[in-house]
Amino acid sequence: MNIDKSNLEFRNKLADELSSLKIALNKVNIEKKSLDSIDRAVKTLRDVKHLPSFVDESKKELPEISTPYSWGYAIKNFTLFVDTSSSIQYPKSVKKATLQFSVDVVGEFDKSGHEFIDPFKRLEFNVVIEGFSRGMKQHIFTYHLDRDLKGANPSNEVHPSYHFHYGGRKLGAYTDKNFGNSLILDMPRLMHYPMDFILGLDFVMSNFTPDLWRQLKREPIYIKLIRQAQDRIMKPYFGALAQHFGFHNKIAGTWPGSKILPQVI
């Protein structure tokens, strides 16, 4: 199977964006190992033989397929150092922590140019923050952004198409099960727009390393990259919701608003 020419152009554009992001990140305090993880993603996108697979949700059997339009990349354990001395943070004895951010995303290039469709076929988006208090006692905070896979994991809870979820497998793998006075339930899935690495890093930094984020926002190339990613990923999400509520003319084949958020009528 050969890669489609238009998809290759699209993938090279994504690779160029990640390379530009690395240049911007080089100007702030990011460790080299994290920057190198971006290079690996760029190499993957430019590899014409790499056509990642995804689940075909149109088939009842949910087979794994790849097509000439497949694209994807992974960036693992991008590390940031977090100041945890906030007045609303507990326990107070944890003064610094390490944040590891990972994204594994797969999509299918849409040659039709349809404006309001789901930009991804698969998304794994994980944030794990670890800190240590006196006596080197480990503390952990973890959440993830999921793309719900139609028919794959039936459950009673409502699953918006893209949702944030606290805990999950990462918390379950935590070796010290001493959670103090916390009560950890199966948390609600909170709807959220989809994010690739560029939007995800912007989200993580704006919330956990705001000083670093403000430094980056002074870089024109960074602002351009965020704007491009928002147009490619956020616009279909909010455009589909706007169409559902009648703020946009109906377009056949649009991402259904009821899939984005099952509670909408």
Per-residue pLDDT tens digits for 47-65: 999 999 999 887 877 789 9
Residue 46 or residue 243, greater confidence: 46
The per-residue pLDDT for 62 is: 77
Cα–Cα distance for residue pair 51/262, rounded to 1 Å? 31
pLDDT at 163 over 70: yes
| Confidence at residue 13, expressed as pLDDT on a 0 to 100 scale | 98
pLDDT average, residue stretch 242-250: 77
Residue 181 confidence (pLDDT) above 60: no
pLDDT-derived band at 161 (thresholds 50, 70, 90) equals: confident
Each domain of the chain, given as residue ranges in start order, spans: 5-260
Q: Is the pLDDT of residue 83 over 80?
A: no
Share of the chain above pLDDT 70, in %: 83
Q: 11-20, 100-109, 177-186: which range is least confident on average?
A: 177-186
pTM: 0.88
